[in-house]
Chains A and B, each alone.
Chain A
Amino acid sequence: MRGLVWERLFWTGPVLLGVSVLVFLLMALIPGDPALALLGPYATEANLDRLRAQMALDAPLWTRYFTWIGQVLQGDFGYAYSVDRPVAEELWERGRATLLLASAGYLVCLLLGVGAGVFAAARQYTWIDRSLSVVSMVGISTPAFWLGLLFVMVFSIHLQWLPSGGIQTFGEDPSAGALLRHLALPALTLGLVAAALVARFVRTQMLEVLRLDFVRTARAKGAGEGRILWCHAVRAGIVPVLPVLGLQAGYVLGGAVYVETVFQWPGLGRMLVEAVTQRDLLLVQGGVLLVATAYVLVNLAADVLQAVLDPRLQK
């Protein structure tokens, strides 16, 4: 196990390095004057000159990379002209909102997806399985942004149960309850769409496991079906696919872009869309770097968890 975990940890370094190089290159290779692109159309000539000097545009690409990454590691992502504050401050504030939304959505996705998948597999070909299959088929085909609009129409406009957007209502005292009420719809939207994919995947996976010889052995021992499903099959079915469930975090983080836009959630996703629209490339650069780093770490965690739980990987 140690070996595998170390190997995985070891590989995370180069991957993060590659990510930073890619992010850097994306921005460095923009055609035209990068300083103009980075500071936007309303930049003063003095500011432009300062940035050009700071970026050392005539220096070789790799020196520029090291200068940039050195600043990033010190928490200096540059200045975002579109919001008129340092990129790092904006990332910190938006990042917390996205962390909350994405974790809640991911939780919904895992609980519903794994639960529905296992349940459907155990009841294969019954009406439960069939209706879950239909629901998950519709789920994977639903545009997240449209589902969000639908939820707003039903739960906010017609039923008036939950707020239609934002992270808190203006003029209200921020409280945990209020936060949860604002979180409910976006997290559900995000979780449901991702859960559909997980449910389909888990169902297929479980059906394969339920046919394996050790399940027959468990039956031959006199174990009941519930025990076979939850103690034997789920363990052997889910642990090997933990990395795939980790990859789902990417789906959730991507979906967060739509959901944050629909629900005006002040997170990184919406920030990125606004930054792209306004061509605030320093903000885009910082945001993409942050999200990708978080995603790499989630996948690392999933792999490590698998290595801890699967004895076959512990050689």
Chain B
Amino acid sequence: MDYSLILALLLPLGGTIGVLLNGNRPNVREAISSVTSLLLLVTVGGMVPSILHGKVLKLELFSLLPGVSVTLRADAMSMIFAFVASSLWTIAVFYSLGYMRSLKEHAQTRFNASFALAIFGAIGVAFSDNLFTMYLFYEIVSICTYPLVAHHQDEEGYNGARKYIVYLTGTAKLFLLPAIILIYVLTGSLDFASNCTTGIFPAGVNSTLVTMLYIFCLFGFAKNGIMPLHHWLPGAMVAPTPVSALLHAVAVVKVGVFCTTRTMLYVFGTDLMSLLNLGIPTAWFVSFTILAASIIALSKDNLKARLAYSTVSQLSYIILGVALLTTPGIQGGLIHIVNHAFAKITLFFCAGAIFVVTQKKLVSELDGLGRAMPFTFGAFFLASLTMIGVPPAAGFITKWDLLIGALDANQIGIILVLITSTILNAAYFLPVTYRAFFAKPANGVVYDSVKEAPLAMLVPIVIAAAVSIIIGIYPNFMLQFAKAVTG
């Protein structure tokens, strides 16, 4: 029995309740958010030593049917995601405090409560021991983030939020529900396997059904942003920027890819996936998303939209890596959960800071702004490096592993995809910083009075950007978890 697991769940839940109860005392409310986020980080950090010793923490909370239960487990793979979610929550809490107060946004209590509840769901997903528990928290995340997307409560907000909830709950019901039930019928259990190779299906299982189940799982977790079910993501960009930052670069989308890869590795297993030849076709399928989303990003002038499509593209790296079914591929995919998270949250934070200071949303309006906001655009530049995969940024580790993984799998075509995508990444990210620092402001625009965003926003930006470089230089802390997954 290990109670740090339940503590990790109860902290964000308790934070939600604390926030709701202190709605009319903003300072107490924000203090509760910050303290719970820090405590969560400490709790998750406290699990690290035992996980590194190869221990797996487990805790059964409720048993529904034989083989169906609400059970938590912390192993190497869950640590990757739990660590990202909890550390970025801490940073995002401070950032959103600055953002929401600077813009005098309405309904901040609801906002903070939903925020904490979404983290509750994300942590639950990270620590799920079976498909049912994962599905439960996956759906909690879908429902609890609706208020965040619809936050502005205007026509645009409601439309974006409707699309969001229709895509996410619709696919979960349409594909995941039958998949989970059929897996239960075929195997008698929904528990994940104890390693990433064997899977849970008995030998001799009907391969048509398994292939169908696999496809259902791939599309059922639509939070993973695989085309053509990615439309909810750009639509959800109507949310306030801290939401876009934490949820749509980290918590929500990473819940999607985490669930997808968790299912690929611990339900189907690499053995069965190679046997039925499911891996390489998946890699090719998501390659389309990688390239197409990058091309769309290239055409977007709205900075947040560009970032959104970049997210769609980058998420597929993670799935591609795992789908290669080679050790470096899986490691590269899983480590990209971390690398992408820190870099993308930096980029969104920067977009939010630019908006708070100048009310500008378009890339074409940013000419010359860099000299007025050097820290913001410096951070933006560093985070761009991860997206492109330039050393020493963290993204380089991903690209390196993915390339070796593709070589191991003898997939020269995939290598070409990765190279093309790198060029596209550079093409849509570098001009942003270039124009900001080196282009002349448009006629009549003067940035003399423009200053950096408030410190509550600037400090999280700098920290997130710094981390995205540090984990590139010292990748071992996170890589050891990824290595433990592949064994």
Asked if A pairs with B, the answer is no
B interface vs A, CB < 8 Å?
none
